[in-house]
Amino acid sequence: MNLKYALLAAVGFSCLTSGAFAITPAPQPQPQAITPQTQPLSPQQLEVVKQNAIAGKDLANQPNMTPALLETMKLKASQGDVQAQSILGQVYQHGKYGVKKNLFTARDWYEKAIKQGNVPSMINLGDMYQKGMGVPKSYTKARELFEQAAAKGDAVAQYNLGVMYQNGRGVKKDGQKAIEWYQKASMQGYGDAFNNTGVICEHGIDVSKSKEKAEENYKKACEFKSKQGCINYKRLHDKK
């Protein structure tokens, strides 16, 4: 086993159990404003855009999106390029780069990309269904999309499924299944999943209370950039 994952697996999971507890919603990246350029991107820069899309990075991490590049993306998307389809979904979902926000068009591009197995599109469209953005609100459809992404190993999807099972959204409430998904996300260093484990340990939700295990999980959560995990770790640590 990879040493990093072995260390993660060793921390805190003995406290995992069923039960309701407060959770931190998975953060949804928002694209930022891009400074226009007068020249289109080079083929090398265009490849960076595509590779970022493959990696699931949001538009804030893309090189500058010029009108020429946007038209290239539209052409490639219409020709079946899955990364271009995913990027256009984000562009229309958020209304960036001079494109008017259109959730219906965003959904259409995401659906095309999903048919080709694009994970970021599964996450984004699942979030749209979960919130009822441009589509009828449907936790069931959101769950199905998150399950597709989770099956491909996506930590955000795994965490989102944990949230759904913990709250009984689109599924029967099942704390144990929620924990199973949180553990998968934690094994990939998803900080908020560690934080939620700490909450269970600290409050003894269907298990014996363990401040020590709670602190261990909060510390790991903080190490993996969970703001709430840092707050909880400091709170427990300062009480010593």
Q: Per the structure block, which two tokens stand in for 42?
A: 């080079």
Q: How confident is the model at residue 141 (pLDDT cuts 50, 70, 90)?
A: very high
Output the pLDDT for position 4: 43
Lowest mean per-residue pLDDT among 17-21, 70-74, 113-117? 17-21
Q: Indicate the average pLDDT of the chain.
A: 77
**Residue 230: its H or E element:** helix 227-238
For residues 55 and 63, the answer to whether their CB atoms sit within 8 Å is no
Per-residue 3-state assignment (H helix, E strand, C coil) for 128-166: HHHHCCCCCCCHHHHHHHHHHHHHCCCHHHHHHHHHHHH
Q: Per the structure block, which two tokens stand in for 239?
A: 């009480």
Q: How far apart are CA 46 and CA 52, in angstroms?
A: 10
Cα(first)–Cα(last) distance of the chain, in Å?
Answer: 35
For residues 195 and 181, the answer to whether their CB atoms sit within 8 Å is no
Average pLDDT over residues 63-70: 69
Output the pLDDT for position 134: 92
Output the pLDDT for position 161: 94
Q: Between the CA of residue 105 and those of 73, 79, 84, 92, what are the distances in Å?
A: 14, 16, 14, 6
Q: How confident is the model at residue 64 (pLDDT cuts 50, 70, 90)?
A: low
The Cβ of residue 208 has, within 10 Å, a number of other Cβ atoms equal to: 9
Q: How far apart are CA 89 and CA 8, in angstroms?
A: 34
The string of DSSP codes covering 181-233 is HHHHHHTTT-HHHHHHHHHHHHHTSSS---HHHHHHHHHHHHHTT-HHHHHHH
**Measured CA angle at 146 (ends 144, 148), to 5 deg:** 70
More confident residue, 115 or 57: 115
Output the pLDDT for position 128: 96
Residue 159 has pLDDT above 70, yes or no: yes
Q: How confident is the model at residue 162 (pLDDT cuts 50, 70, 90)?
A: confident
Average pLDDT over residues 25-33: 41
Q: How far apart are CA 208 and CA 147, in angstroms?
A: 31
pLDDT, tens digit, for every residue of 166-218? 788 989 888 777 778 888 999 998 999 988 878 777 877 666 788 998 899 89
Q: How confident is the model at residue 11 (pLDDT cuts 50, 70, 90)?
A: very low
Q: How confident is the model at residue 6 (pLDDT cuts 50, 70, 90)?
A: very low
More confident residue, 163 or 61: 163
Residue 66 has pLDDT above 50, yes or no: yes
Average pLDDT over residues 35-55: 49
User: Of the candidates 137, 139, 149, which has an alpha carbon nearest to the alpha carbon of residue 110?
Assistant: 149
Q: How far apart are CA 189 and CA 158, in angstroms?
A: 12
pLDDT, tens digit, for every residue of 86-104? 989 998 998 887 789 999 9
For residues 41 and 70, the answer to whether their CB atoms sit within 8 Å is no
**Measured CA angle at 154 (ends 175, 105), to 5 deg:** 105
Residue 142 has pLDDT above 90, yes or no: yes
**Domain locations in the chain?**
39-118, 192-240
Output the pLDDT for position 197: 78
Q: Rg for the chain (alpha carbons), in Å?
A: 20
